[in-house]
Copies of this chain bind each other. A is one copy, B any other.
Amino acid sequence: MRITELKIHPIAIADPPLFSSYGLHAAYAPRIVIELQSEDGLTGIAEAHGGEAALAAFQAWRPRVIGADAFTLAAGLLPADARTATGADRSQTWLVPGENPGDADLRIYSALEIASLDLLGRALGRPVCDLLGGKVRDAVPFSAYAFYKLAGGGGEAEDARRDKYGEIRTPAAIAASVRQMIAEYGFREAKLKAGVFPPAEEMEAIRALRSELGPEIPLRLDPNSVWSVATAFDVASGLRQELAQGGYLEDPVAGLDGMAGLCRQLRAAGLETALASNVAVTGFHDLPAAITHDAVQIVLCDPHYWGGLRQIQHLGRLCATFNLGLSMHSNTHLGVSLMAMAHAAAVTPKLQYACDTHYPWQSEEDEIVAGGRIPLNQGCVRIPERPGLGVDLDFDQLARGRERYRRGWGHRRDDAVEMRRRVDPGWRRQVPRW
């Protein structure tokens, strides 16, 4: 099935001022939507990381894509380093996961793979999951993803006035925001993006969540690497009960050495807190050291930068083999990405944790999926019986996103710049900060 056209749509979507240890989300986040057209007039779609560098990379790949066969894309276009390489340590701590230059080619390929699977699914009249051996779950659970936040919505002007969650700076506000998300989406697991306030405050937020949600909801805590090993040990120790039973501590410290050292200290103290990562571990190349040194017990994958859906299946088999847990990372995204994430999880038996998603932080006004936002019921995305990913583009909405991008919004994600602009002119990322 010959690919005859690759359309690249850079868009900007409103993003609320969410805090993380990387800084503050800017008013608009970039995404790229691609359309892969085949000679028989069908179109497959995917959603990818956006911004200037990604746009240039998609454009550079375009000649390789036109004329390729949607069935054999992996053999022809999967970057060689993802196919056979080991070794080169491309993990890092200073960039938002998914913005690692070492993964740049793999991110482009990932979107192309997903779009080609969507295209093939449409051509064959089958959901994407069926092209990958079939789904092992009909509905994929996602997690409530709490953030500290400035007052105000995403974007500017009318967008910025839409603010469902208000300012979130206290444990009570964190608990209230998750309560609100659960009321709307039915999530049954929850995660707090931490590394923003001193650890004692964030521990209080976790305790507030536990108190708010009762003992059944697994909780996760993710400071994106900005704690020292000693601080992380104290947090794990103080929250040993709150983070147990399906919970985990995600990237508490920087690097595989740091994670491994923390793990040794925890186990020596009789603490079983599970350590998860999508910063110390960003690809297959990080796994040998992570496993050898028991630095990580749970990998957070992401089809957007691990190489698409088949690579997530490979990762799932590897995690099952080494008794590693598997969860899923999220970046700011819309409904096309949500469906790709859902299909990836549906065909990966080992993916037994609820996946992360930023979806509650985006709004109907920006959704590019025809028919509006994907429903989440009891926290789950149901895999539709429809061909492909199961969603179509709303081209009016896509044009709206393109227009925003054209105005110069969201061309380059830099949370540190936004943090300095809006919060603290002297701010810079520190690892460790506490």
Instruction: Classify the interface of chain A: helix, strand, loop or mixed.
Output: helix
Q: Which residues of B have CB within 8 Å of A71? A: 126, 130-131, 133-134
A371 at interface by CB-CB < 8 Å: no
Within the complex, the shortest CB–CB distance from A341 to chain B, in Å, comes to: 18
Within the complex, the shortest CB–CB distance from A356 to chain B, in Å, comes to: 21
CA–CA, A124 to B284, complex, Å?
Answer: 32
> Which positions 71-92 of chain A face chain B at CB distance < 8 Å?
71-76, 78, 83-87
Q: Which residues of B have CB within 8 Å of A134? A: 69, 71-76
Q: Which residues of B have CB within 8 Å of A126? A: 71
- Interface contact B133-A84, CB-CB below 8 Å: no
Known: A75-B135, A350-B84. A317 touches B320 (CB 8 A): no
Q: Pick the residue among B69, B288, B310, B320 that contacts A321 (CB under 8 A).
A: B288
Beta-carbon nearest neighbor of A352 in chain B: B84
Within the complex, the shortest CB–CB distance from A304 to chain B, in Å, comes to: 18
> A86, A129, A134, A313 — which one has the most chain B CB atoms within 10 A of its CB?
A134
- Interface contact A317-B133, CB-CB below 8 Å: no
Known: A71-B134, A350-B84. A318 touches B321 (CB 8 A): yes
Beta-carbon nearest neighbor of A75 in chain B: B134
- Interface contact B84-A349, CB-CB below 8 Å: yes
Q: Which residues of B have CB within 8 Å of A87? A: 323
Q: Which residues of B have CB within 8 Å of A133? A: 71-75, 78, 310
> Which positions 199-225 of chain A face chain B at CB distance < 8 Å?
none
A110 at interface by CB-CB < 8 Å: no
What would be 15 A-B contacts, judged by CB atoms less than 8 Å apart?
A69-B130, A72-B134, A73-B133, A73-B134, A74-B132, A74-B134, A75-B347, A76-B134, A84-B320, A86-B321, A86-B322, A133-B310, A284-B317, A314-B317, A318-B321
- Interface contact A287-B321, CB-CB below 8 Å: yes
- Interface contact A83-B288, CB-CB below 8 Å: no
> Which positions 376-420 of chain A face chain B at CB distance < 8 Å?
none
Q: Which residues of B have CB within 8 Å of A132? A: 74
